Amino acid sequence: AGPLSAGQIDYERRVRIIVDEDGLYRVLGSDLQGLGIDLSQINPATLRLTNKGKNVAILVSGDQDNRLDPEDALEFWGERNQKTFLQDYPDQYADPFSDENVYWLQWGGGTGLRMVEENGSLITSRPGEFNPSLLYSRTVHVEKNDHFERLGDANEERLSYTRDLWFFDSGVRAVGKRQYPFQLIYPAETSTDPVYVTAMFAGKSFNAHNVMVWLNNGFVGASAEDWYSQDTSRISNRAGATLRTNDLHHGENVLEVQMPQLTGNEIDIVLLNWFEVTYNRLYRAYQNQIEFRRPSFIPYPQTDLFQFDIEGFSRPDIEVYKKGISKMVNFRIELETIG
């Protein structure tokens, strides 16, 4: 995250926080002091965080004395700036102008949204009264903006944000192929659920395109017959996935783009924009962190009670949050002895 900086409007009661990656952020009273702000003028009950005009929930600690001290803290879940134009322009996943997302911290008015503490203790161990959590669905987005293409034929008289012009590389050319390694964390190899893959492309040459996509040794799909010139194209196996989680590996996996044939003396070149993989993942921490959700399979839908057993931590100072809702307390930590 970028450093705190004083806002240009009403700077005595507002600062801006710049976020360029997803994560949990903590702001101390001493951070505000470092900007020359007098903490004695801040009533912590009036602290309010907004992003793009919407309130963002914060967790404030140390405010029981109704004053903001240097060691007091507020926490919030921040996200990088992306998907701004995705609904209208599906190739434009990253924001074309900036990855930086601006959050505004204000005080002196009404109370903003607050995260609460939520009890995470074991309520019942009787089968059927809670849903166990074995695996959950996870989507990984892979995108590298390492190569710029003007795509003049497809981009004439269009505003810049209506088309993504950044790609993995200079393209794949027929007849040929190119591999794109990427990481997946703890796929549930015993799961029989399908693995869904979507890959977004743009044409670079001006004729028809013929592309096949593979993930490891599994076939994903082929391009549509009506893909021509520098138009975009999405190749996906959502309609009939044959890939399964046991086709995946913890660690490096490989997406392969193949261009198996060429008609006549034409040139066929395509550009990979981004791809996504949706798979079932284990409840196992990686590098002492995990972002998880409800399990893929819910055996007892009549109850809204879930038990999450998460392994793989190497240290006991674990914190659990529901994004923008609560901080879990009273959950149980058990030490496992290996060997």
Q: Tens digit of pLDDT for each residue in 177-206?
A: 999 999 999 999 999 999 999 999 999 999
Residue 159 above 90 pLDDT?
no
Domain check: are 152 and 239 in the same one?
Answer: yes
Domain check: are 142 and 271 in the same one?
Answer: yes
Residue 242 above 90 pLDDT?
yes
Specify if 338 maps to a domain. no
Which residues span the domain enclosing 89?
5-114
Element (H, E) at 4: none
Last residue of a domain, one of 282, 302, 330: 282
**pLDDT mean across residues, the chain:** 92
Is residue 147 within 8 A of residue 167, CB to CB? The reply is yes
Mean pLDDT of 281-288: 98
Q: What is the pLDDT of residues 321-338, one digit of tens each?
A: 999 999 999 999 998 876
Element (H, E) at 32: helix 29-33
Last residue of a domain, one of 282, 301, 327: 282
Q: What is the pLDDT of residues 99-122, one digit of tens each?
A: 999 999 999 988 899 999 999 999
Domain check: are 17 and 70 in the same one?
Answer: yes
Domain check: are 35 and 160 in the same one?
Answer: no
Domain check: are 145 and 55 in the same one?
Answer: no
Structural domain count, the chain: 2
Domain check: are 157 and 270 in the same one?
Answer: yes
Specify if 321 maps to a domain. no
Specify if 224 maps to a domain. yes
Close Cβ partners of 128 (under 8 Å, ≥ 6 residues apart): 300, 303
pTM of the full structure = 0.89
Domain check: are 266 and 141 in the same one?
Answer: yes
Specify if 122 maps to a domain. no
Note the pLDDT of residue 3.
52
Domain check: are 147 and 216 in the same one?
Answer: yes
Domain check: are 142 and 248 in the same one?
Answer: yes
Note the pLDDT of residue 58.
97
pLDDT band at 1; cut points 50, 70, 90: very low
Note the pLDDT of residue 262.
80
Note the pLDDT of residue 261.
86
Specify if 257 maps to a domain. yes
Specify if 128 maps to a domain. no
Q: What is the pLDDT of residues 52-69, one digit of tens each?
A: 999 999 999 988 899 999
Instruction: Report the CATH number that the domain containing residue 261 is assigned in CATH.
Output: 2.60.120.260
Domain check: are 60 and 30 in the same one?
Answer: yes
Note the pLDDT of residue 266.
83
Domain check: are 71 and 150 in the same one?
Answer: no
Domain check: are 96 and 176 in the same one?
Answer: no
Paired tokens of 187? 């796929």
Last residue of a domain, one of 243, 259, 282: 282
Q: What is the pLDDT of residues 211-220, one digit of tens each?
A: 999 999 999 9
Specify if 211 maps to a domain. yes
The beta strand positions in 144-250, using DSSP E, are 147-148, 166-167, 172-173, 176-184, 196-203, 212-215, 218-222, 232-236
Note the pLDDT of residue 7.
45
Specify if 121 maps to a domain. no
